[in-house]
Structure 1
Amino acid sequence: MSKFLRSLTLIALPALTLALGMHLGTRFEQQKMSEEYKVMEEIMGGGTGSGTVVEDPEKEVDITLLWS
């Protein structure tokens, strides 16, 4: 029984710690990637405005806003 328990400990314990480490590592990496994605979305998203379509820019757009 002692030899069986020793061999089980030598095989199972490293395997369990390896599996736990891989699980924690992938979980941490997924959290990090989602945080980076949110930051990049904020940086690259930019302000898009109201989304209204301008039919005649000469009449509808106030040019003085560009120079203020």
Structure 2
Amino acid sequence: MSKKNTKAAPKEVVSSYAERDIVLGKVRGFPPWPGMVVDPESVPAAVQLERPAKKNNFYCVQFFPAGD
């Protein structure tokens, strides 16, 4: 008997997030950390300047517990 047909169907991947969704965010040099997706217009001006210009899958994440 072959095991080729016993594989489960691939799970759907969520490709977009809404405000207030809880996510694991990743910043280079740090491990993934829990945070919340926030509106990019509601963050300080210094944070808005760091936003990438041409990225489609960009989300502004406020990390727990300090809100960095």
Query: Comparing both chains, which one has the higher relative contact order based on Cα–Cα distances under 8 Å and sequence gaps of 6 or more?
Result: 2
Asked if these proteins are the same fold (TM beyond 0.5), I'd say no
Structure 1 or 2: more helix by fraction: 1
Q: Which has the larger radius of gyration?
A: 1
TM-score range, shorter chain: under 0.3
Structure 1 or 2: more strand by fraction: 2
